[in-house]
Amino acid sequence: MQDEDSYILGRVATTVVVLVGVMFALIATANVIA
């Protein structure tokens, strides 16, 4: 149970980091174009 919880938390954390990175990249690109 503990391992499953850690795995799920790891997946969620990774997904959040990726989404934030993509959002930051899009904003940075928009600023460069503008």
Residues of the domain holding 19:
1-34
The whole model's pTM is what?
0.66
In three-state form (DSSP H/G/I as H, E/B as E, the rest C), the secondary structure along 1-34 is CHHHHHHHHHHHHHHHHHHHHHHHHHHHHHHHHC
Work out how many domains the chain is built from and give that number.
Answer: 1
Write out pLDDT tens, residues 2-21: 788 899 999 999 999 999 99
- At residue 32, does pLDDT exceed 90? yes
Residue 1 pLDDT:
59
